[in-house]
Amino acid sequence: MTQYRSKPVNDKGMVEWSSEEDLIWRDLVSRQLHLVEQRACKEYLAGLKLLDLPLDRAPQIVDINRVLKQATGWQVEPVPALINFDRFFALLADKKFPVATFLRSREEFDYLQEPDFFHEIFGHCAMLTNPEFAEFTQMYGILGRNASDKQRVYLARLYWFTVEFGLVKEGDETKIYGGGILSSPGETLYALDDPQAMRVDFDIHTVLRTPYRIDIMQPEYFVLDGIEHLYKLSKMDLMFHVKQAMSAGLLPPLFEPKEVNHA
């Protein structure tokens, strides 16, 4: 169960962030900004420039939406801390990116499992200014909206290994576009630099069959040829691949099973 509650958003799209929350935002951004400058893909950095996020206070949705609207027609949609899959897919299909309006506490400054406002805004919104990424994300929502529960579990892996934890080639280098990485200082370094992490070429069939855990650094990342690769994926018959992956079944996990405490 979550200890967090989204803060109310008024009809002007404004949240009354407290001064402590403004300081938490400031400290999160100042820590992360210099890390992503060298490691995020050019599309992310261009989006971050457009968003022009404040450094000394938590941003307001209304300001982000103004930029997103002009760039790709997307909008950020404030939601309670948790929403179900039906709502999640329906929002994406409608070019609305769900964002819970709470910030992590100081106690969970380095790591929290729930996606907070920093993760959603700093991690994801810059990429939503990119038309190819935006198209892919909308198509993912449309597919998910119409998929069965079992198909959704497979589709979720596609989202996980792209929107959340995706890497992309840029010339001779590998860069980050996944928001789960870009909002985490530890994983920003680990995903690109740690020899333990595997970085393999993106293959849709493998991605759909690769299990993941949400509470560890990823053992494996999938690297796109370029962000336009996402656009090409959005034009493919992805549900055909989902059905193929379902009949092939999951690949063996590269991590230990999560320990369950029965005490």
Rg (CA), the chain: 18
Q: Which of 199, 205, 211 is nearest to 236 (CA)?
A: 205
Decide if 119 is catalytic.
yes
What binding mask, one character per residue, do residues 114-153 give for Fe ion by CB under 5 A, x or -? Answer: -x--------------------------------------
Kindly state the smallest distance separating residue 113's Cβ from Fe ion, in Å.
Answer: 11
241 annotated as a binding-site residue: no
Q: Which of 262, 151, 172 is nearest to 223 (CA)?
A: 172
Q: Phi, psi (5° rounding) for residue 80?
A: -65, 170
Q: Which is nearer to Fe ion, 11 or 215 (by Cβ)?
A: 215
- Residue 215 half-sphere exposure, CB side, CA atoms within 13 Å? 4
262 annotated as a binding-site residue: no
What binding mask, one character per residue, do residues 76-115 give for Fe ion by CB under 5 A, x or -? Answer: ---------------------------------------x
Q: The tokens 């597919």 sit on which residue?
A: 143
Q: Which is nearer to Fe ion, 15 or 99 (by Cβ)?
A: 99
Kindly state the smallest distance separating residue 65's Cβ from Fe ion, in Å.
Answer: 18
What binding mask, one character per residue, do residues 228-257 give for Fe ion by CB under 5 A, x or -? Answer: ------------------------------
Instruction: Choose the binding region for Fe ion from 57-65, 174-182, 197-205, 235-243 (rule: CB under 5 A).
Output: 174-182
34 annotated as a binding-site residue: no
Catalytic residue positions, numbered? 119, 124, 164, 183
Binding site for Fe ion (CB under 5 A): 115, 179
